[in-house]
A = this chain, B = another copy of it.
Amino acid sequence: MKPIHVGLLGVGTVGSGTYTVLKRNQQEITRRTGRNIIIRMIADLDQEKARALVAGDDVVVTSDALEIARHPDIDIIVELIGGQAIAKQAILEAITHGKHVITANKALLANHGNEIFAAAQQRNVIVAFEAAVAGGIPIIKALREGLAANRIEWIAGIINGTSNFILSEMRVKGLDFSTVLASAQQLGYAEADPTYDIEGIDAAHKITIMAALAFGIPVRFDQTYIEGITKLANDDIRYAEELGYRIKLLGITKRTTNGIELRVHPALIPVKRLIANVEGVMNAIIVKGDAVGPTLYYGAGAGAEPTASAVIADLVDVTRLLTSSPEHRVPVLAFLPELLSDTPIIPMEAVETAYYLRLQVTDKPGVLADITRILADSEISISAMIQKEHADGEDKVNIIMLLHKTREKNINTAIEKIQNLPAMADKIIRIRLEELGS
């Protein structure tokens, strides 16, 4: 049978990894598919780098991604350029020319996925993106196929390796955020401009895509609540630990009677949960289905070969499907496009979670009474409290509270009132708490 001809756009880390793994495991992969998958053309501005990669192989190298996107010999393009301008143009051009598309570009899908999926549906081609979420972990496949029996209730995941690495280092070494960030940058675990990772934007791209798959809704990145890890103090990591919790940056999406929650923020998780023990650059995602209960998926969320693993899994899937009838393909967003639903995203103010608060107060009699009064008036109840002297012997104490579930709007109002008490010595620290238990 005629081999599948692939055009590879971009030979950065993931592109090079994809070429390498596909070549190394060609025999093993052909045992699975019965059909050779061959990279015939590569586009990269750095043509020398591309030529060094394919040395001796029969591969056409060009600097023009659009040339490949239009080329009649190519069945599938693999977009690993990144960014949104050229990547989007190349993908839409390939779709127009009836080619199937595989991409790892979460930022592009989060921002322009609806447009790209619509174009693909119109031209009856596949857009596959296992590599866009959590690297090598086959979470897209699990959501789209493995858990197809379920009404998905919620997803919570550690889906940004850089920020998880930073949080692990802060906890284990007792260092503060900026120190760890600097060393992470030196080690290559954080980019020169780490904004997307540490501000939660990358995680938001991914949770947005997963929410679409889980609930059969369009991609709604612009409605995602996003809070990063830049303001986390080492003190809070330590106090959380004393209380039996670990702080992780989570992407969370949840189906409720009022709509869908979609949010990224640091959260305390009970240490006894498996996901609380996911350390370093690793990723893990819990999916809660009504029939299956919670399932967890863990692995490398980034890196050349783990991400290549996901890209090639998509290549295998598309290869298997290429001659089958389109109406029986796995729908790109798990649900049939015409049956996507319009369930609203819940504004963060209406979301209910539990909370950890740290209040720094001057040690005046009556301040605790004032605080608990405000909380009681807001119908917020306290599940645990500890009081800590300041180490430096200042006239301040730390009061740490765990609060039962309440609405974000409610806690915002209460925090504002407490902050205005004259005894408050500093800004109140507020971190959400997720039991992840049911």
Contact = CB atoms under 8 A, between A and B. Distances in A.
Interface of A: 17, 21-22, 24-25, 28-29, 31-34, 130, 135-138, 141-142, 145-151, 216, 274, 277-278, 284, 289-300, 303, 305-306, 308-313, 315-317, 320-325, 327-331, 334-336, 339, 341
A contact face: mostly helix, strand, loop, or mixed: mixed
B31 A312 contact: no
Given A22-B149, A142-B146, A298-B298, A31 B324 contact: no
Contacts of A151: 24-25, 28
B329 A146 contact: no
Given A291-B309, A293-B136, A327-B34, A145 B149 contact: no
A298 B296 contact: yes
Contact of A148 (B29, B142, B300): B29
A216 B25 contact: no
A336 B32 contact: yes
Contacts of A21: 149-150, 290-291
A266 to B, nearest CB: 21
Nearest to A331: B32
Contacts of A290: 21, 24-25, 305
A146 B313 contact: yes
Nearest to A25: B151
Given A148-B313, A292-B305, 9 more contacts: A17-B291, A21-B150, A34-B327, A138-B145, A291-B305, A291-B308, A296-B296, A320-B329, A324-B328
A335 B292 CA distance: 28
Contacts of A320: 328-330
A284 B335 CA distance: 28
Contacts of A278: 274
A317 B25 contact: no
A136 B329 contact: no
Nearest to A139: B146
Contacts of A330: 320
A30 B102 CA distance: 26
A25 B216 CA distance: 14
Given A145-B317, A149-B21, A297 B300 contact: no
A312 B325 CA distance: 22
A431 B318 CA distance: 45
A159 to B, nearest CB: 14
B297 A339 contact: no
Contacts of A216: 31-32
Contacts of A297: 295-298
A408 to B, nearest CB: 28
Nearest to A130: B146
Given A148-B312, A150-B25, A299 B294 contact: yes
Contact of A292 (B34, B145, B299): B299
B146 A138 contact: yes
A47 B93 CA distance: 59
